[in-house]
Structure formats: C-alpha cells, structure tokens
Amino acid sequence: MFNDSGINMGPVKEKAERWLKVFFTWVIVFWAISTTIYQVSPQETGVVRQFGKFSRTANPGLNFKLPAPLETVVLVPTREQLKEEFGFRTVKSGVRSEYNNKGFDQVRIMLTGDLNVADVQWVVQYRISDPKKYLFNVRNPKETLRDLSEVSMRKAIGDRLVDEVLTSGRDEIQIEVKESLQNFMDLYDSGISIDLIQLQDVNPPPSVKDAFNEVNEAIQQKETTINQARQEYNQRVPLARGQAAKLIAEAEGYATKRVNEARGDASRFDQVREAWEKAKEVTEIRLYLEAMEELITKISKIIVIDGDLNGVLPFLNLGEEKQ
C-alpha cells in the first residue's frame, strides 16, 4: 500500500496493528487479573455471586474468583458491630462527641399511652450474623432495620405513660424493643442479630419540660430519703436487737440464779426437816444454838444475871448504854 507520495505504508500499518494487539492483550490480562484476585479484610466476609446468584462465601485473606462479569464479590462487615442512630446524627465522635438532632422530628417525636408527647432518641447496635441472608432475603436490609426499629420503639412508648417513659421505664423499654426488633429480624430471616437498644435521650415536650424536671428532682430526693432511712434502720435495728438480747440474757441468768437459790433453800429445809423427824430434841437444841449464835454476834454487850439472886432488884443503866 502506497500513499500519495509513493511511500509504501504496508510495514507501518502492520507494526501499528501488532502494537495495538499487544496493548489490548495486556489490557485484557490486567483486567482479568484485577477482577480475579481480591482481598477480604479480617472484619469482613466475601459473598461471591455468579451471574447475580449466590455461589459461596470467602474468608478473610487473599481469594480468587472468575473474572467479572462471570463472578462478582460483595464484602460484608460480619465481624463488626454496626450502629444505627435514630432522632439524631453524630457529627463528631470522641471524648466530647457532637450531635445534631435538627431535621429528625418525624422520627423522634412519639405519642405516649396517656396522649402526651415524648422526644425520644435511641441507638441500635447490631451484627450481620449471616451474610447470605443479609444480601438475598431482604431487598434493603438497612432501611428495613430502621423502619422496624421505629415501629418497635413507637409501640413500646405508646404502651406506657409519659412519666414511666421519662423516669423508671427506660430499662424495660430497651429490653422490650430489643426483643421485638429481633423477632422482626428473625421473621424476615434477614441474617441480622440485635446486640443492644440504647435510649440516648428522652425529654418531655418543651412546654412542660421544667415541670417534668421538678418531678424528677422530687423522685430523686425521695429515693435519697428512703436510702438514708434504710441506712439509719440498718444501724439502729441491729443495735437495738443486741441490747434486747443482752437484757434477755441477763434476765435469764437472774432467773436461773433465783431458781437455783430457791431449790437450794428448799433442799436445805427438807434436809433439816428429815433430821428433825429423826431426832426432834437434838434438832431443836441445834436450831436453838444456831439461832443464838447468830443473834449473839449482833449484840455488843452481854449481861449475865444469877438466877438464884432474891430480894435485890438489878439495876441496868440501859439509857446510858444506848447513848
């Protein structure tokens, strides 16, 4: 082939065609290699689809598959704890996290069982337990999770009074919503496992917020007073019980002593009576002598008068002796 100048263009064209073939060959090889070899991180599980249909799962590490579009892979974070926020968004996380709750009124404003309004913000923490079910059983699993979480929360809030929602019922609400949402996930066979439902912030309507805060302070003060009373009870009651036990022990000891003394006196009397019955005259003399012995020890002066003295009146200066 010659051009207008008479130059033969055949060798140039053949060389260009050869370089184009080499270039496209390398492009095809590079494309085949790049779509055949893929990396799965430790927190993920690879789901391989063949012509869009589930084929197999791939573990963390270097893996191989057929070139696209024969086979494609989707990386699912099965070893991470995922989180969905309701009624707010985390703007900046850290020691002092920053949140934005503007524009989420339709989600966080809920009606309670006594027809009051509560501003509820919560977090759902979950894991993907089965990547195959997660990708193929539900069309949009994340949106489904959000919708069902909102349904469960609104039902739990609607079954309770506003006072219970704001104060003592938070733990029960979290448990109930977790169970309800997990039941929904199992019903849809979504491959999602719910780890935690956490109420982030629950507030009353702005018009009555001050009144509710006063109620909360009163409840806290009541609990503080009850705790103080219980502490005082725990201190005083054991002390009173100890004192009562001491008095009872002393009374029982005194009663035992008196009973033993009475039994001893009775036994002594029985012994004297038995001795008197055996020798009445000797016993009477002994008793007389014992009584006189006890009496004489109490007399300071003894005066002996001769019984045979007659005609003389004994004079005893008892008054002087008394002085």
Residues 179 and 149: their CA atoms lie apart, in Å, by: 11
Tokens read off for 45:
């599980």
pLDDT at 309: 63
The band of 126, judged by pLDDT with boundaries at 50, 70 and 90, is: very high
Residue 201, pLDDT > 70, answer: yes
Q: At what angle do helices 170-187 and 141-158 cross, to 10 degrees?
A: 140
pLDDT at 145: 96
The band of 307, judged by pLDDT with boundaries at 50, 70 and 90, is: low
Higher pLDDT, 37 or 153: 153
> Would you call 276 exposed, middle or buried from its count of C-beta atoms within 10 A (0-12, 13-18, 19+)?
middle
pLDDT at 323: 46
Task: Give per-residue pLDDT as tens, 68-125.
Answer: 788 889 999 999 999 999 988 888 776 677 778 777 888 888 999 988 888 999 999 9
Residue 58, pLDDT > 50, answer: yes
Tokens read off for 57:
């799962």
Residue 146, pLDDT > 90, answer: yes
Residues 58 and 45: their CA atoms lie apart, in Å, by: 6
User: What integer is the mean pLDDT of 170-183?
Assistant: 95
The band of 2, judged by pLDDT with boundaries at 50, 70 and 90, is: very low
Task: Give per-residue pLDDT as tens, 3-44.
Answer: 555 555 556 567 777 777 777 777 776 776 777 888 899 999
